[in-house]
Amino acid sequence: MQTERESHGRIIFHVDANSFFASCEIVRDPSLQKKPVVVAGDPKERKGIVLAASYVAKQQFGIYTTMPLWEAKKRCPSLVVRPPDFALYREVSRRLFQCLQRFSPVLERASIDEGYLDMTGRTPTVHPLALAHHIQQELLERLSIPVSIGIAPNKFLTKMASDMKKPLGITVLRKRDVPRVLWPLPVEHMHGVGDKMAKKLHALGLHTIGDLAKADRERLRQTFGIYGLRLQEKANGIDPRPVDPVAAEKRKSIGHSTTLPYDMDEEQNLLVVLRQLAESVSARMNEKRVVSRTVQLTIRYYDFQTITRSQTGMDPLWDAEDIFSYAVRLFQKHWDGRPVRLLGVAALHVFDRTGAVKQLDLFHYEKEAKMEPLWKTVEQLQAKFGARALQIGVEPLSSDRQTKEGEER
């Protein structure tokens, strides 16, 4: 890993497409350019929420992502609504990253609409600010996609910078700017701090990024482990992570295990522990903005015999209820009734999520949108004949896998 001294002098760009889904729809139909546009699911079905809003819709009518579509229409009766076209968004994303690749081969795709470029040593005769303007203009001319660009010496600062001016913003954030620019901000505005983490930081009396930067390191370590220390480093403008072109392909896991206060054989009590573990794993996944398709359960019995079993599904997951559901199914299949000494839950092979909330996950939404006619039929039958008249089957478990317990690789 690079030290702070070794990383000094790096030039990192974070390129973030503005209102990407809505921008793609405007590319397809330029007559929408100055109109309030949203991409949203069918309001007659369960996905009637705003997936993306143009800046006209945002700034003039206060419409935001995840707002119910009925409320968006109430705020703006002339709202233009487009159904999501995932094939279009993937194709525009492919072309966008193809363009970015021309400026630097050291390109890390963070999601469908944002990525990091390591420009260190690639701008000997052109100022980075001028190059950012050139990239921004080229993406507008070639793809008609507006982007905001952050320029900084590391990934954390450049991500924070790109969020500061939207749309079509370019922001330079140097390490020496951190006390003046970042420290006064609420801690929940910090990249990597989700709602749950923010509440925990508030409970410690840490309300701003500056509070976190100057907090007692040992207290952070005891409360949050290594993640708390890494957050504090970022709050001080330190982030040695390289721009990694294959980061999304690397496999790692997020897990949590606990030794029970006594050897426990009451199923309800064990399920309570599983729920707590699922919530812990979910919180860490949200902080790291990752998802997984595989949940692993670890059971260590009173005699120290240990088993690990996993289940893989089709859809990305990170919500505590989904993780808990997988863990319960594994537990009920593989627990033999003996007293349990330790339980562990882990999400294996995590990867960056493509949206901020479940409704915005591109692939999850696409799959569920295709299921809408079935859900609608099921709901109609249950309304007519009763809730137990028709039930959806449970997907078979995948083959068991042996892995180490409670690790984060």
Residue ranges for the binding site for Mg(2+)? 16, 113
Q: Where are the alpha helices (DSSP H) in 102-167?
A: 128-143, 155-162
Phi, psi of 234 (to 5 degrees): -65, -40
3-state secondary structure of 95: helix
Residue 225, both tokens: 């482990």
Binding residues: 16, 113
Distances from the Cα of 131 to the Cαs of 105, 124, 125, 136, in angstroms?
15, 11, 10, 9
Angle, to 10 degrees, between the axis of helix 86-101 and the axis of helix 20-28? 100
Concerning whether 249 is annotated as a catalytic residue, the answer is no
**Measured at the alpha carbon of residue 200, what is the angle toward residues 341 and 173, in degrees to the nearest 5?**
125
Distances from the Cα of 101 to the Cαs of 109, 116, 260, in angstroms?
10, 10, 51
Q: How far apart are CA 202 and CA 183, in angstroms?
A: 15
Residues 6+ apart with CB under 8 A from 295: 310, 311, 317, 323, 326, 327, 330, 345, 346, 347, 348
**DSSP character for 394?**
P
Q: Where are the alpha helices (DSSP H) in 312-392?
A: 320-334, 362-385
Residue 257, both tokens: 């295990």
> 């064990």: which residue's tokens?
270
Helix H or strand E segment including 233: helix 226-235
Which one from 114, 279, 368, 405 is the annotated catalytic residue? 114
Active site residues: 114
